[in-house]
Every structure is written in structure tokens, then in C-alpha cells.
Chains A and B, each alone.
Chain A
Amino acid sequence: MVTQFLERIPRLDLVLAGAVTIAGLFALLTRRRGGRFRELPGWAGFWVFAAVVLISLSHAPKYISFALLATWMFAALRTYFFVAPVRPRDRYAILASYLSIPFAIWPAYLGSEGLFLAVVPVSLFLFIPAFLAISQPEKGMLDSMGRTLLGVVIFVFCLAHLGLLAHHELTGVLELFGILVLAAELPQRLAGRFRSGKGWVKPTIGIPISLVLAVGSGWFFGPLCGLVDDDAARAGLLVFVAVTMGALVNGAVSEDLSLTSPSARRGRGALLDRIVPAAYAAPVYFHYLNYFAP
């Protein structure tokens, strides 16, 4: 009976659930080692939620899954603005950033990539700076603009690509995305990630392993969703590059916001650390599948 039940579940969903479970168990077993291992349970918990979002985007009715995605974007953006405050007079720019979520979700819900590209980059990225400029453009406006736009780029623009992926003709590409990001991230998290000005010894261990794991996972699991193995391996490679870039950006942002202490990395600051690499990879993966691996 269990076998019959499991057979009805798409393979990639099982693989993603298995990957998250393994990551979670590993995190629970190693958390007592201290250091960066203490951050792993939180990260694994985040991935349980992320896996639910990805699977629901793939299978659940769109009005439910897109509401879940929008809630996720809102919660992420809200926490980001808490840890990266803008000037008090720019509070309405924060409001405008929240309002950008439905504007990004709407074309993604319709599955219209053209509309998405028209609405999000053209309208929002130009509209929000104008909103900031309405308040007296005194010292610090450019910093506020940078902070606001970075939040919108990562937590609205990038994450909305997951919504667009839900319309892909191949089912399972969202689950494959989760598997690839996990494969690209976990070794870097364990061995040490590349961070500007922080040396190269640790990344030289973590980066090659995650490269091999991401490409290997793509090559091995890609055919389960109908991708050619070479295309899927290349998708793994691109996801690996994007995740590494995201981790690099996140490291620099955390440094700038003084979110480097262990308590900050397990508190609200942890959100950036967990979500930014995955968010970074979403547009890269989407455009690769759309244009280069049809």
C-alpha cells in the first residue's frame, strides 16, 4: 500500500523531499559541533518551507500556491527592511516595495513573461526611485535607494521567477530547481563559501564539491522531468554559479549591515543568508530553461 502511494507521487517530489530530509537530519546531527554548523537547523527548516512552496507551485491550484509565494515574498521583504533600515522619511518607499509584490505576481500568475518583463523592470525599478525622490532628496537618498531596490530585485523580481516556472511545459522543473540549489549550497555552507576579502582556503574545498554535486544532480535527476541529461547538467552548472554569486553578494551585504555575529546569523539576519542564494538562482534557471534548453 505504501509502495502504491509512493508510486503515485512524482519522482522529483520524492527526491526533493528526501534531499530536504537528509539535509535536516544532517543539520540536527551536526549542530552540536558549533560554528557554522549551528546555523544548519535553521537553514534546513527554511528549506522545508521552500520545498512546500516549490511543490505547491508545481501541483496545487494557482490561487493557493501563488498566494503562498506572495506571502513568502512579503515576509522576506519585511524582514529585509528590518535588518536594512532606510531613512525614516523613506517609509512610503517601503510601502511601494510591498505593493510591487502583486504587480510582479500578477503577470507570473498569468504566465505572461512579456508582461512580467514590462511590468517589473520597466515600471517598478523606475517607479520606486521616483517615489524616493519625492521625499526631500537630502543626504543618504542614494543609499536608501540602493537598499530599497536591492530588496525589490532579490525578494520580488527574482522570487517571482518561481511563479513563471510554474507555467513551464515540463512538470517537475521547480522541484529540480530546489534539488540543484540544495546540491550547490550545502557543501559551500559546510566547507566555507567564497567571500570577498576572506581568503580562499575554505572555498577551495567547498566550491569544487558543490560544482560537482550540482552538475551531477542535474545530469542524474534532470531526465526525470523530461530534460536531456546534458541540458540538465548545464542547468546545474548555472545554478551553481548563481548560488555562489548570491552567497558572495549576501556576504558583502551582511558585512555592510554588521550581520556577521553568530547571533545575528541565527536571528533575523539569517533570512538573507538562507534566501538570497536561492533567489539569485531563480531567474538564471528560468531563462536557461526557457531559451537554451527547450
Chain B
Amino acid sequence: MKRLFANLALYLFHIGFVRPVLRWGVGVRYRRRNLVPRGPCVVVSNHNSHLDAAVLMSLFPLGRLPHVHPVAAADYFGTNLIKRTAAMLLMNGIPIERRPKGGADPLQAIADALEAGESLVFFPEGSRGEAGVVAPFRPGIGRLVRKMPGLLVVPVFLSGPERIWPRGQVVPVPLSIDAIVGKPRSYSPEADPKEIAEQLQKDVLSLAPPAPPLPQAQPDPPLRVAICCLDRETRKQAFHEVCERLGRSEHTLGIADPVIEVDAEGMRELTGPIPQPRGRPWLGALAWIFRTSGLFKGQKFVEMVDRAQIDEALGQRPAARIVVTDGSALVDLLAWAHADSYHGVSSETEMNHLLHFLSGRKPIPASKWWTFIRKAPEVWLVNSLDLAHPPVPDVLVHIRPPVAKLMERLRLRGEELEQHEHDPYLEKLQAGYAVVGELLVKRGKVDFIEFDPTEEPLERLVEEVAEVCLRRAAPETEISPTATP
């Protein structure tokens, strides 16, 4: 008779209060609820709120409610009649002593329930802890798993209860909850309880969705370093040496073909989540139709767009503290426009306009399309077709070998010289890089380093770049106004 009344109270509480509140007040969304087994199991999840047990119990169909027991801490829920009634009667909890006396096994009551075919809701963290923080799982769950070989454990990740009713708050604030159910699994009874608990924590955390961004919680974008030089060999060498040097101090990504990752463990090709450059034929066709020339002829234009897109993607999803690029789409395009479209004579206003067009801040007015298509088709394609928003580098390095030496290297290449590869033009182009560097410095927050490799060894440049980058990449320390003399 006592059991009958207990079940009646349980059903009334859940049908009349818990489930309507979860359905209409909170709006719980279950993902993969069908994975909860029909037989006895232990549902394990992160724990930040009193709501957690109710949400996990609602994973089970109503018919199984009397056979599902949240494991409740006796030292907390057994302290007064109200808590005891709520936890043991209305929530059907099983009390356990977190600090047992006299060598008693605190898990015995749970093991007995499982043997009797009941299911459990278990929080291996032990208590609610700090909101949004998953504390290490205690080895108790591991001991339980060892005790009951073949026991099915269902990992669940709860997102939302920690914001609705965290520890220390009296009034719950309705927000949504996501309950993400993982695949049930059993653990080897031979494994160490601590290892089982750690594995289980990994299983639970692997279900966590990416946290929504909080105000002011955006990570800093990476520091961007662009290495520009008209001599391909020198640029490649400087790029690799700078990456290697910076990688020793900070996690660094190098955008070239292929994208590389450098850290204390060394340099390696990146195969992770960052998209690799891929030449798209339609871009090449566009470059051919609109007759892009010089530095951006045909396939070179496609490569420039691909790299700019990767560079842009890295800014939105910071994957490293420093990003070094082999060239810079923005700087290269501006310098090229200065030399080619403006014949080496451009005003600051014109360059600023170009900068806005290339970075996607302003569309090119339709009235100027024809001018751009004729004189700077690269800029028009990037802007009007929205191909990329090449970012402004934080540190711009321009390696400026003497033009005579540059021509000598180009002749040694053994290929036919292109239309723009002659002394006066290369002079204009190099001057274009200097103009762009000065413009960016004037706009602020950009360090511009110009370097002549015939006057000083490359190591000197690498050290200078490293010094500037590491100073800028270091976290800013707030200076108290009272501390100033």
C-alpha cells in the first residue's frame, strides 16, 4: 500500500508538474532520445542544477518512471523533511552517503537496485559545482561499473540547466535546455575505476555542442604577419624562417601551399579543419575573361583568392596565435594597382578607396565598374563577386632587393620574361609596396618593416619580425591609473 501511494505521488508530481514545466516552461529538446535502452541502465551526465535529475528522468517513458531512480546525496537531501520528501518521494531518489561511516559500501544500495532491474540517474561529479564547469568525474561510477559487469551506461550532456537554475540562485529563469544522448556502452570490469570515470567524462563531453558566444567572450583574432617580396625564392625562404622562429614561442600557422603549423614540437603540414587551397576552374575562367594580368594572371589569381579566403577564415575562427602569410592578397593587390592602374602615381584617398573595396567594406559604385574592369579587373572581381575579404596584416614585411638583382634572378629562372618584368616596372611595383606600407601605418596598428637582403643577413630580419610579433602577441596588461607616477 505504501508503494502504491508513493507511485501515485510520483506520477502526480511528474504528470502534473515536472513534464509540463519541462515541456512548456523550459522547452527541453532531446537529441537521440531513442538511444536510451529499454532495460536497466545508468544515465550519467554533467551536473550543474537541481533541474538535471528531472530532465534526465523525462528521457524515460512515463510507464518506467517508478523504475528510474536519481542517486541523491543523503547528507544534502536528507537534512529536512521538505528536501527528503522532494528527493526521495516525488523524485523517487535513492540516498547514498557521500562520506560513509564505519567502512560501509555507499554503492551497495545502488548495486541492489540495478540487480533488481531498476535504472539510475547518476551524477559522477558528486555535486552541482560552478555553473558551466564540468568537474572531474569521481571514481565511484567506475567502481559501480566494475561491480556490475555488462552494465549499460548512457552518457548525456545537458546544456541550459546551469543558466536556468545554477547553484546559489533562488529563482529559476526559464530558458531552453538541450539534452544530448550518447550511445549506451559498457566498460571493461578489469579497468581501473579512475580510468573508467575519466573515459566516461570524455564520452559525456564529446556530446557537448559548441558554446554560444557570450558578450565580451570572443577570443582575440590571431596576429597576422605578411611577408611580401617580388623575388619568390627570397620570400619563401624568409617565410619559412619567420614561421620557424615564431613557432618556437607561439603557436603559428603559415599560409602558403601547403598550409603549415609550427609550434614547440616543430613544423608540419596542416591537415586539420582549415580548408586547403583548391584551384577552381571558374575563377581561372573569370581571370581569363576579364584579362587579369601580371601578378594575378590566370591561375595566380585563383591562388590569391584561395589564400585570401583561408586567411579570412582563420580570423573568424582563431586557430593559432600568429598567422604568417606568404604574400598578402590585400597588399599585393594594392601595390599592383598603384604600379599598374595608377602608373606609380596614386593619392592617399585613391588608395584608401581601393583598400575599402578590397576589404569588402564598400561596394564599387556601378558607375565606376567599367573603369575598374578596364584598369583593375582583379579589384573589380574580388569586390563585385564577393570572392574574398582579404584581411589587413598587423605586421607587414617587405623584402626589397635591388631591382638589378631581382632582374638577374628572373633571368636565371630560364623562363621567358613576362610583360611587367623589366627594370622600371619592378621599381614602380616595389615603390607601390612602400606606399601601401606607409598607408597602413598611417591608418594605425600596423607595423611595417622594410628590408634589403643585400645589406643585412636574413637572420637579422627574422629576429626583428620575431621581436615585433612577440611584443604584439603578448597579452595586454592593464595599467592602473594610480600606478602612474
| A, B: real partners | yes
Chain A positions within 8 Å of B, measured between CB atoms, are: 71, 74-75, 78-79, 81-88, 91-92, 94-95, 98, 139-140, 143-144, 147, 197-201, 256-258, 267-268
**B139 beta carbon closer than 8 Å to chain A:** no
Task: Name the residue in B166, B215, B363 with the highest tally of chain A Cβ atoms < 10 Å from its Cβ.
Answer: B215
Q: Across the interface, name the chain B residue whose C-beta is closest to A260.
A: B316
Interface residues of A: mostly helix, strand, loop or mixed?
helix
Residues B29 and A92 in contact, CB atoms below 8 Å apart:
no
**B210 beta carbon closer than 8 Å to chain A:** yes
**B27 beta carbon closer than 8 Å to chain A:** yes
Task: Jot down 19 A-B pairs with beta carbons below 8 A, ordered by A.
Answer: A75-B27, A78-B26, A78-B27, A78-B174, A78-B175, A78-B176, A79-B176, A82-B176, A84-B212, A88-B131, A88-B132, A88-B166, A140-B214, A197-B360, A197-B389, A198-B386, A200-B363, A200-B386, A268-B178
**B171 beta carbon closer than 8 Å to chain A:** yes
Interface size on B, residues (CB 8 A): 28
In the complex, how many angstroms separate the beta carbon of B315 from the nearest chain A beta carbon?
Answer: 13
Q: Across the interface, name the chain A residue whose C-beta is closest to B174.
A: A78
Contact of A95 among B29, B166, B171 (CB under 8 A): B171
Residues A83 and B212 in contact, CB atoms below 8 Å apart:
yes
Residues B215 and A98 in contact, CB atoms below 8 Å apart:
no
**B484 beta carbon closer than 8 Å to chain A:** no
Interface 1/0 per residue, B155-170 and A, CB below 8 Å: 0000010010010010
Residues A257 and B215 in contact, CB atoms below 8 Å apart:
no
Residues A257 and B173 in contact, CB atoms below 8 Å apart:
no
A contact residues around B163 at 8 Å (CB): 85, 88, 91
Please report the C-alpha to C-alpha distance between residue A221 and residue B384 in the assembled complex, in whole angstroms: 38
Interface 1/0 per residue, B11-40 and A, CB below 8 Å: 000000000000010110100000000000
Given A199-B385, A258-B210: A91 touches B176 (CB 8 Å cut-off)? no
Residues A91 and B169 in contact, CB atoms below 8 Å apart:
yes
Residues B173 and A86 in contact, CB atoms below 8 Å apart:
no
**B79 beta carbon closer than 8 Å to chain A:** no
Residues B212 and A98 in contact, CB atoms below 8 Å apart:
no
Contact of B176 among A71, A139, A268 (CB under 8 A): A268
In the complex, how many angstroms separate the beta carbon of A57 from the nearest chain B beta carbon?
Answer: 20
Residues A257 and B386 in contact, CB atoms below 8 Å apart:
no
**B272 beta carbon closer than 8 Å to chain A:** no
**B349 beta carbon closer than 8 Å to chain A:** no
**B347 beta carbon closer than 8 Å to chain A:** no
**B481 beta carbon closer than 8 Å to chain A:** no
Which 7 A-B pairs give the minimum distances between C-beta atoms?
A: A143-B215, A199-B386, A140-B216, A82-B176, A140-B215, A91-B173, A94-B173
